[in-house]
Structure 1
């Protein structure tokens, strides 16, 4: 049995366009990841309802629902991956720098909103280091980006991307291991 194909940015963008949602693929993925990190549980509720993106009672065709369901499973597996394989869902590296940077800002904005929807105790139960990561994600989410030297800007985006990626995994781990602070050693 082969593993299912990973949902990519463009595939999710097609579903969002088809459903006429007012959210970018990166922001939707960020919202989902934040929700899962904050101990949110979908249960049998549809993803769009859980993330409050179904305003107007969007009817989701089965083919689009299958993509959204796969995105949920994919995100759960990647966030919990002990090999640190998680990646925020962003446009491909061959897309313009400003597009990728804007998508990372959208992802952070979505993550914070989703984290808030995850559960009332999520923030109360994280370490000071994790609270600092959340504050940093907030700074990124509210950033107004200026571009100058393309090589330097590309390097800066890579660094910010890596911080966001690792920060999300650290927060997920801390929120899902009872009484485990992010500075403790895992055995």
Structure 2
């Protein structure tokens, strides 16, 4: 599915690849679980209305599936980053992870424009900003192991940010 989403984004001149597009969606959904998929498409394409229905449907399914996996009732480890398969070259995996982080930061910033970050979310966001500077000149088992650790950290970080924003919204309602 990763390659299919990437192909759609390339075909329609999106400024982002599949990993970054998913990062944007996750960032938006962490801040506002009811985020609108149409807003996401609008961020990805100059004219999302020109997308063929099949392509739009695949992208909207990715967004809604991501929303479902981020629901607090969903099993914690069902959520994952949308990245190339493990059999892709390591430098491409690292580059996709970096792009995912950039997308996530954009998505959170899109949905959360004020500087009021709940709990430890500001610290997590600083960590993710640092990951946008990751070097994709990698090779070998050590770098592969480091990538896996960063990947797992990001999965947990996303759920932390989601929970902190959810708790913050609930506190504001009461």
**TM-score interval (norm. to shorter):** 0.7 to 0.9
Q: Distance in 2 between matches of 1:134 and 1:168?
A: 10
Shift of 1:125: 4.2
Q: Which residue of 2 aligns with 1:15?
A: 8
Q: Deviations over 1:13-54 (max 9, x none)?
A: 1211221212110000001110111217444735321xx232
Identify the match of residue 132 of structure 1 among 123, 132, 144. 123
In the TM superposition, residue 144 of structure 1 has moved relative to its aligned partner by: 2.8
Please list every run of 5 or more consecutive structure 2 residues that lacks an aligned counterpart in the other structure. none
Residues of 2 paired with 1:44 and 1:88: CA distance? 18
Distance 1:135 1:11 in 2: 31
- The 5 Å alignment of 1:113-128 reads 113-121=106-114, 124-127=116-119
Q: Is the 8 A contact 2:92 2:136 kept in 1?
A: no
| SS of aligned partner of 1:23 | coil
Per the alignment, residue 29 of structure 1 pairs with 22
| CA displacement at 1:119 relative to structure 2 | 3.0
Name whichever structure is richer in helix by fraction.
Answer: 2
Q: Secondary structure at the match of 1:143?
A: coil
Asked if 2 retains the 8 angstrom alpha-carbon contact of 1:84 and 1:169, the reply is no
Match of 2:148 in 1: 158
Aligned to 2:134: 143
Deviates more, 1:10-19 or 1:24-33: 10-19
**Whole-Å Cα distance in 1 between the matches of residues 37 and 82 of structure 2?**
24
2: CA distance, partners of 1:154 / 1:44:
33
TM-score, normalised with respect to structure 1: 0.81
User: Helix, strand or coil: the match of 1:132?
Assistant: helix
**What RMSD over aligned residues (CA atoms) do the two structures have, in Å?**
2.1
**Distance (Å, rounded) in 2 between the aligned partners of 1:115 and 1:15:** 24
Q: 2:44 aligns with which of 45, 50, 53?
A: 53
Which piece of structure 1 moves more, 71-80 or 90-99? 71-80
Per the alignment, residue 82 of structure 1 pairs with 75
Q: Secondary structure at the match of 1:17?
A: helix
Count of residues in correspondence between the two structures? 168
Question: Residue in 2 aligned with 1:5?
Answer: none
The TM-score with structure 2 as length reference comes to 0.87
